[in-house]
Structure formats: structure tokens, C-alpha cells
Amino acid sequence: MKPDTLVEVKNLKKYFNIGNDKILKAVDDVSFSIKKGETLGLVGESGCGKTTCGRTILGMYEATGGQAIFEGENIYEMNKAEKKAFRKNAQIIFQDPYASLNPRMTVGDIISEGMNNFKMYSESDKQNRIYELLRLVGLNKEHAGRFPHEFSGGQRQRIGIARCLAIDPKFIVCDEPISALDVSIQAQIVNLLITLQNEFGLTYLFIAHDLSMVKHISDRVGVMYLGCMVELAGSDELYRNPQHPYTQALLSAIPIPNPSYERSKKRIALEGEVPSPINPEPGCRFRARCKYMRPICSKETPYLKEISSGHYAACHLL
Amino acid sequence: MSKLLEVNNLKVSYHTYAGEVQSVRGVSFDLDKGESLAIVGESGCGKTVTSKTIMGLIDTPPGEIKQDSEVLFNGKNILKFSEKEWQHYRGKDVSMIFQDPMTSLNPTMRVGNQIAESLIIHRGMSKAEALEEAVKMLEMVNIPNAKERIKQYPHQFSGGMRQRVMIAISLACNPQLLIADEPTTALDVTIQAQIMDLLKELQSRLGTAIIMITHDLGVVAGMAQKIAVMYAGKIIEKGFVDEIFENPKHPYTLALLNAVPKLELKNKEKLVSIQGTPPDLLAPPKGCGFASRCKYCMKICRIKYPEVSTISDTHEVACWLQHPLAVKVDLAEDIRREL
């Protein structure tokens, strides 16, 4: 492990047993690493396992196989005390700002819950810390005494971010933090996340299906399809020079707010829909929708290989 | 060319415990036969209420359509329709695709019967004829194996497939106007692209006029001919797609266009965000609804709603910046400087 790596995920697997000998392979053999202060974007369509991946890395799910190494230690082999220390360092911002805040707690209580858990501040310091956090995320002192229902979606997401920052984490999993928000509010939250990262040197795993936002905030982007990572590269490189057929189709499907461009654009149409992740057959997961399919694609599972410096793709044809 | 739809000064309010929410506050637009219009705006701006009024789906009470509102369909005011006229109009002349394909189909009815239903009612077909037609409709929206599929229930279809079924249902009686209320918001990008392509193709083949409701400017860029941008219950700018995208005149339209990160934008550069949140329509502002978030806001903006200025024959904007006495600002230049 390189010294500047904060999180390293090795062959991570998360299977769900859904009865009748059926196994849903939500995350299947995914590996990547995140450097300190970096943002890794994770994109893919719904059901591709990106959220499960994020949650498994935080230990919210028990992994079926593989390792997630945080600062040199495998989180699945930690004892209780170590695990608690890990929780202080790794936090999550949830997708739905309406469901992720307890409606019966005031904003001040929501934010201070983590601080109390770790006994981080004295009673008087805690109050100041709450105000400071509220200011950081663009809210006022007065908001501390109010309840979540008094806030709009964007404001609630700010509260979620303040709660997350309260215990000075190093690593934050942002699980679709902007999907539930309006366009004009999305930009506010993304700007806030970027500012906070610059200020505190945070490391993000940014999960989203909005490809243009992901490119904007991420240093590197990984594309997932049906539980597997199909391509991983620097964000500019990935968007300029996508190699995997799925990434190419995904990128060409982004609607661009430019009428003349949209009319003339040649879209790579994908036939059909994402197949079921239950008991998948070996071979490339994308082959059923891939127009370049060859016999080898159904025999061997392709693994990520470096095709140019820092650009990885999992495809037999490359 | 004759107008298919004319909406004049439409005002819709909802009466709630907290008071009267003025969802739509005087909206006017028109639509030619076979034309496609996109209504763009954020949640709560009144775009869905507008479309529901055209479809006659506003429950009164709690809703209230104000007296002087007018919605003319082929010259007839639909707001004065009797229940019988409504039944003839809905589903036959105008039909609607809803946002959520998971909840807009009846889970206890076979898909074929759901398509056949309107054929039997409006076109007087027998059940067998209607089911045969339903197979053709499913084939038209590219659902493979349609003969088997019409016997299945909605839960056996995926999200994209269900939206295709919805499109088949809404086009079954060859309506003159199709209202699509955020038809792709609940779908993934690759499926969204499929559905948009399908709608585009069907429109050019059948000549149906489309009103498309969305919050995503990218989606409408390749699809609509005209755009109306709504904010706080009013249309603040409308015009042809190219006019709106190349020459936006309202600060809100411009901000909306810039809030989406362009792919050529540098990494982690600051996005142009709109500060604050939309106004509360329980007590709508006297002046321009956008005034409190607008950085070009002048004194008059808070006092009086701006008159509509005409940029070209088709391009209209409601903003005081267009007034001859206002400070001249080059919006696009300003934004560029800020970045």
C-alpha cells in the first residue's frame, strides 16, 4: 500500500442470499484505492451496486469476501475499539435528506449526537462547535433549535453534512447527496462539498448517477455495471477517451443543454435493459447489450487491466 | 396555422390549512398542431399543476381554478366542459404520461386490458379487436414478444418497459395532444435516452403535439421546439429552443443553464449556483418572484411584477432588465467573468 493511500478496496464482494438458493451479487470482486484528499466518483445505473459498495466499505454491511483497508488496517478484522475509532474517521452523507434526519430531534441535537458519542467536547465548547458547524455549511445559529421539518431539501442536506463533519472525519462516503435536490440547489451543495474538501483535506467517495456532476467533483471516476467495475480513470481522461463499450454508451446518453449539439449528436443506443444480478452467469456482465460481443466474452470474466497510464478497463477487446 | 391549445391567464390555487397556495399565477401560452413545447422549472413552480389543468385533473376543492382563466382546445374552453364532454376529451383528444411508471399503471389489471380499455371506450371496438390493437401498440413502442406480454401484469415489467406501456396507452386513441409529465425522471440515463428517442420518433410519425414537463434542460434541448421557463407560478421566459439556449434574457433562465456543469468545465471549478430558495407561494411576493435570489435585483423588482417584453416575434421575457430605463447588463458576459 502506497503511503498516500487512505482507503484501499481489494476484491470486495457483497452477496445477498435471497432464498431459494438464489444469490444476488450486488458487488462482485471490486478493487480500487482512494488517495488522501482525493475524490473518487462512482457512477452506474440503478442496481449496479454502487451504494452497496459504499456502505460495505464503511462496514455497514458485512462483506462476503475481500478487504477494505483504511489507513493500513482491514476494517473487517478490527476489534470493537478499533471499529469505533474507524467510525469516527469514516462518515456518510445519505441520499434522501427527508428520511435521514430524525424528525423528533432538534438540529442541534442531531449535530451533537456524534460528538457526545466520542465525548469530544465539554458542554460549553459543544454549543460553540455546533454554531461553527452551522456557519460552515451556510446555516445560522438560530437554526440549532429548530426541527428538520422546518427546512427545505437543500437545507436538510446541509444539516446532514454538518452532522457528518461534527466528529472531524477523514473520509466521507457521499451517497447520491444531490439526487433528491433541484438543479439550482444541487450546484450549491456541490460547491459546499468542494469548499469543505479544500478547507479540511477531506477524502470523498462520491456516488451518483448524474454523470456530469460526478465528472465535475471527482479526480478519478469508476464506472460500475451489475456489481463489477468496468472502467476506472482520471475524470477528464474517462470522459474524453472512454474505452469500455458501456462507458461509451453511458456518456453518449447524457443529455447536453445545447440544442444544435443534441440534434446532430450520434447516440450510441443501448438495446434492452440491465439484466438481473441474481445468479449471474460467468463471463462479461455487459455482453448481452454489447454490440462487440465475441465468443470469449461469455466464457471468461474480464478483469480490470491498465490500458494506458492510470486508465483501467475490463474488456476482452482492449 | 390554427392553434391547437391556448392557455390564457390561468390561475390555480389550492386551499390548505395554512391558507391559499397560489400554485399557478397567471400563465398564458399557446401550442400549434404537431408542435412540441417544454415547460421547464424547479419543483413547486407550478408546471405539473398547469398540465393537470389541461388534462382536467384538478380536484376542486381543495383546488380552485380562478374565474377568468381560459384554456381553449381547438377553440373550445375546456374549463366549462360538462362531465360528459370531459370523458370524451380525456384519453381521446388529450392524454398524459405520468412521472412515475411504477405507480401509474393498475397493478391488478393485465397490461393488454389497460391498453384496450380506452380503445373500447373511445373507438367502440370489441374486446377482441381492442386486444389485437393493443399488441400492435406494444410493438410500436418496441416491446418484444408483444403477444405474450399483453397477458402479463405491470410488476412483470421493468421501469423503462412500464413507461413504454404508458406511452402505448396514451397514444392508443391517436390523441392530438400528449402531455408528458417528467416522463424520464425516474429512469436511468441509458433508458431515458431510449424513451426520448421513442417519443421523438412517434411524434414525427403520428404528428401529435407534445407538452413536455421537466426540470432538466438537457433533456429538452434535443426534443422540444419551444420552451417556457416557469418560476414561482409564472412563465418568466418563453421562446424557441435556440433562442432560449443561445440568448437567455432572464437571469433565472441563465442561472438554470449554468447550474448544470458543462462537460468542458474544469474540474472542481465553482459552479454558478443560485443562492437561496424559491419563494413561498402561500404569500407570493408582490414583485418579481425571483427578486430575492437575483443579483441584478433593482428597487422596482420587489414592488411591481415586470411587464412582458418582446425580444423577437416568438421570444418573450418578463424582467425589468429589459426596460429602457434599466441598467444595461450583458448576462452571459457577467457569468463568464465570474467563472
Which residue in B has a C-alpha nearest to residue A259's C-alpha?
B221
* pLDDT given for residue B337 in this prediction: 64
As a whole number of angstroms, the distance between CA A245 and CA A242 comes to 8
As a whole number of angstroms, the distance between CA B332 and CA B319 comes to 16
Confidence of residue B100 (pLDDT cuts 50, 70, 90): confident
Closest CA to B211 of B168, B239, B178: B178
> How many CB pairs below 8 A link A and B?
123
* pLDDT given for residue A93 in this prediction: 92
Which residue in A has a C-alpha nearest to residue B293's C-alpha?
A184
The DSSP-derived string for B243-264 is HHHHS--SHHHHHHHHHSPPTT
Query: Which chain A positions have a beta carbon within 8 Å of B242's beta carbon?
Result: 259-260
Backbone dihedral angles phi then psi of residue A132, each to the nearest 5 degrees: -65, -45
Contact A185 B277 (CB under 8 A): yes
Query: Which chain B positions have a beta carbon within 8 Å of A191's beta carbon?
Result: 270-271, 273
Which burial class, exposed, middle or buried, applies to B240 when counting CB atoms under 10 A from its CB (0-12, 13-18, 19+)?
A: middle
Contact B274 A45 (CB under 8 A): no
* pLDDT given for residue A41 in this prediction: 93
pLDDT averaged over consecutive 10-residue blocks of chain A (318 residues)?
Answer: 85 88 88 93 87 91 90 90 91 89 94 90 90 90 90 89 92 89 83 91 90 88 92 91 90 82 77 77 85 86 88 89
Q: In what order do the strands lie in the sheet with A228-234?
A: A90-93, A171-175, A203-207, A39-43, A220-225, A228-234, A311-313, A305-308
**Cell numbers 460500475 correspond to what residue?**
A224
As a whole number of angstroms, the distance between CA B211 and CA B71 comes to 14
SS3 A225: strand
* pLDDT given for residue B264 in this prediction: 67
Whether the CB of A263 is below 8 Å from some CB of chain B: the reply is yes
The residue among B254 and A203 whose pLDDT is bigger is: A203
Which residue in A has a C-alpha nearest to residue B252's C-alpha?
A184
DSSP B297: -
Contact B221 A261 (CB under 8 A): yes
ipTM score over 0.95, yes or no = no
